[in-house]
Chains A and B, each alone.
Chain A
Amino acid sequence: MLIFELSRPGRKNPSQAPASQPEADDIPAHLRRAGKPLLPEVSEMDAVRHYTRLSQKNFSIDTHFYPLGSCTMKYNPRGAHQMAMLPQFLARHPLAPETTGQGVLACLFELQEMLKDVTGMAGVSLTPMAGAQGEFAGVAMIRAYHAARDDTARTEMLVPDAAHGTNPASAVMCGYTIKEIPTDRDGNVDLAALRAAVGPQTAGLMLTNPSTLGVFEQNIQEMQKIVHEAGGLLYYDGANLNAILGRVKPGDMGFDVIHVNLHKTFSTPHGGGGPGSGPVGVSERLLPFLPVPIVAHDNGRYRLVTEKDLPQSIGHLSAFQGNTGILLRAYAYARMLGGEGMRRVADYATLNANYLMAELKKAGFDIAFPQRRASHEFIVTLKSLKEQTGVSAMDVAKRLLDKGFHAPTTYFPMLVPECLLIEPTETESKQTLDAFVAALKEVLDEAHANPELVKTAPHTMPVRRLDDVKAARELDLTWKAPAA
């Protein structure tokens, strides 16, 4: 039900309407609308009930365990929201002079410093507005680096086949062609294939470590040697930084550039709940190319570094300084944790994943890489269940909703058939993990005893199985008013 469908002509919400309307006659006549916009006419109570009801239909981290692999759906602490919403932060205009914004600039500067420290990078820019923009910025810096050395023959970006789809997309956006590197049976990048792929055409390698297969690249030192000796740079996709936070620094692994998803690792709101933020960090040789503005601290004052100071910068990625409200939440989160707390994040993210993996194995599930220790996430494959019962990973995911759990990531990575990618994060208790195992075990039993029940799930949600094929084939995103 849309709020437009609740609309009744003449129903108003006068208590919050302005008493008088400004004339707006300084706007040229041809730019003013002729008729009134079509807005829903509802009472204040109708509006409150409508949106409250919608919020109750949500599956969210505030209501349910949300083990969506590769997304790091951890709790967003209220303290971080509270700090970021101090009236002095909210009222600050991005064009106000630096002299009146020393406080917010100090927070951003310290966040840069903390991200440098925890990633082992020489410089950080906070401006990218999302992970994908961070990736774009990172690859654009690799390109700028090679171009500055007149090394224009480097036209190819190497991307392992386990990578997030955004990696090849970002590289193509920067004008590179993609060469895909296969994965070996243990889930590592195939070293022989990497050796064969590098050459004078190699711009770099984009790597997620731990990978989307939920395992740490065991040959990372050898890999960085192969790529660097060929003259390429190493890009670290920070999607899975949660697994190693405070324990292993991408800089120490030899990476030249990294993006961090603050909405994952630094617990800012995620998905539909808030804008993303994808700061980039670089090694010494990429410092001149960082996107601006960056916050500098000299002579006891904070100031914004612009193209004037950094003429080789890849430039601006947004109108101002990135998603400042999100950056402040990440800053508050990092300050609440401290160095010791960040190490605990990685420890418990990993412990929770390995505990869950061991319990699910005991419960009869097939683990995709049973010979490997999980990082912060792991993969269950339901290939044999599908063969035995016809119940697919999607069916199991839908049935989990009935049991009060958000589904794990399904059908990604595509290397593993009928897969569930499960990431519990560090913020869940043993009791929650045990309840999740029990629910999955119930679904497994149901799949054998009564496959139809699972195939037709969900049964208790506000909507049943959606026809995603029809939705994609006949895309229709606009509500149309019925003829008056």
Chain B
Amino acid sequence: MSIPNNLKYTKSHEWARQEADGTVTVGITHHAQELLGDMVYVENPAVGRQLKAGEECAVVESVKAASDVYAPLAGEVVAANAEVADAPEQINQDAYAAWMFKIKPANPADLAGLLDATAYQALVESEAH
């Protein structure tokens, strides 16, 4: 199972990465794409949108299901990955390279409150029963 140590995670299967410029990059995890299967559609939030932590802000759709993507932390959307919207299969190929959007966090310290790789691993295992 692929859960990189340098990322933070949410219970709803998003990953978040701290960037040098202070923004946070967001995508869905390898485990999430595995559950959903072949991706066919991605809808990203508009740049400039203010997000609350936990707010539904994007949609990923596979041949099996459509699923909401939630904001891991509060802030403003400063970039959205148009490439992944054009080619959603990039998420299946490498979920951690195929980022969806970047947030400028309202409170950068919020990132520390997310799950680390160990905690996310435990969550995935507990969900598998």
Query: A and B from one assembly?
Result: yes
Query: Nearest residue in A to B88 (C-beta to C-beta)?
Result: A473
Kindly provide the distance from the CB of B14 to the nearest chain A CB, expressed in whole angstroms.
16
User: CB of B38 within 8 A of chain A?
Assistant: yes
On whether the beta carbons of B65 and A468 are closer than 8 Å, the reply is no
User: CB of B40 within 8 A of chain A?
Assistant: yes
Separation of A468 and B40 alpha carbons in the complex (Å): 10
Q: Interface 1/0s, chain B 31-43, versus A by CB < 8 A?
A: 0000100101100
On whether the beta carbons of A472 and B40 are closer than 8 Å, the reply is yes
Which A residues, 407 to 425, have Cβ-Cβ distances below 8 Å to chain B?
A: 411, 414
User: CB of B49 within 8 A of chain A?
Assistant: no
Separation of A411 and B64 alpha carbons in the complex (Å): 7
User: CB of B122 within 8 A of chain A?
Assistant: no
Q: Interface 1/0s, chain A 442-484, versus B by CB < 8 A?
A: 0000000000000000000000000011001100000000000
B66 to chain A: which residues have CB within 8 Å? 165
On whether the beta carbons of A472 and B63 are closer than 8 Å, the reply is yes
Separation of A472 and B64 alpha carbons in the complex (Å): 11
On whether the beta carbons of B41 and A472 are closer than 8 Å, the reply is yes
Separation of A468 and B61 alpha carbons in the complex (Å): 13
Separation of A414 and B36 alpha carbons in the complex (Å): 9
17 contacts across the A-B interface (CB closer than 8 A)? A165-B65, A165-B66, A411-B64, A411-B65, A414-B35, A414-B65, A468-B63, A469-B38, A469-B40, A469-B89, A472-B40, A472-B41, A472-B61, A472-B63, A473-B40, A473-B41, A473-B89
A-B pair count, CB < 8 Å, reads: 20
B63 to chain A: which residues have CB within 8 Å? 468-469, 472
Interface centre among B40, B41, B88 (most CB of A within 10 A): B40
Separation of A305 and B38 alpha carbons in the complex (Å): 50
Which B residues, 9 to 50, have Cβ-Cβ distances below 8 Å to chain A?
A: 35, 38, 40-41
Separation of A468 and B89 alpha carbons in the complex (Å): 13
A411 to chain B: which residues have CB within 8 Å? 64-65
Separation of A32 and B35 alpha carbons in the complex (Å): 53
Interface centre among A165, A468, A472 (most CB of B within 10 A): A472
A472 to chain B: which residues have CB within 8 Å? 40-41, 61, 63
Kindly provide the distance from the CB of A245 to the nearest chain B CB, expressed in whole angstroms.
30
Kindly provide the distance from the CB of B96 to the nearest chain A CB, expressed in whole angstroms.
21
Kindly provide the distance from the CB of A33 to the nearest chain B CB, expressed in whole angstroms.
36
Query: Nearest residue in B to A172 (C-beta to C-beta)?
Result: B56
Kindly provide the distance from the CB of A165 to the nearest chain B CB, expressed in whole angstroms.
8
Separation of A468 and B35 alpha carbons in the complex (Å): 17
In the complex, the 8 A-B pairs of residues with the closest C-beta atoms, listed nearest first:
A472-B40, A469-B38, A473-B40, A468-B63, A411-B64, A469-B63, A472-B63, A414-B65
Which A residues, 35 to 63, have Cβ-Cβ distances below 8 Å to chain B?
A: none
Separation of A165 and B68 alpha carbons in the complex (Å): 12
Kindly provide the distance from the CB of A19 to the nearest chain B CB, expressed in whole angstroms.
51
Separation of A472 and B66 alpha carbons in the complex (Å): 12
Kindly provide the distance from the CB of B91 to the nearest chain A CB, expressed in whole angstroms.
12
Separation of A165 and B59 alpha carbons in the complex (Å): 14
Query: Nearest residue in A to B55 (C-beta to C-beta)?
Result: A177
Separation of A468 and B65 alpha carbons in the complex (Å): 13
B61 to chain A: which residues have CB within 8 Å? 472
B89 to chain A: which residues have CB within 8 Å? 469, 473
B64 to chain A: which residues have CB within 8 Å? 411, 414
Separation of A411 and B41 alpha carbons in the complex (Å): 19
Contacts beyond the supplied A472-B40, A472-B41, A472-B63: 9 A-B pairs with Cβ under 8 Å: A165-B66, A411-B64, A411-B65, A414-B35, A414-B64, A468-B63, A469-B40, A469-B63, A473-B89
Query: Nearest residue in B to A472 (C-beta to C-beta)?
Result: B40
Query: Nearest residue in B to A410 (C-beta to C-beta)?
Result: B64
Query: Nearest residue in B to A474 (C-beta to C-beta)?
Result: B40
Separation of A468 and B64 alpha carbons in the complex (Å): 10
Q: Interface 1/0s, chain B 60-77, versus A by CB < 8 A?
A: 010111100000000000
B40 to chain A: which residues have CB within 8 Å? 469, 472-473
Kindly provide the distance from the CB of B60 to the nearest chain A CB, expressed in whole angstroms.
12
Separation of A472 and B40 alpha carbons in the complex (Å): 6
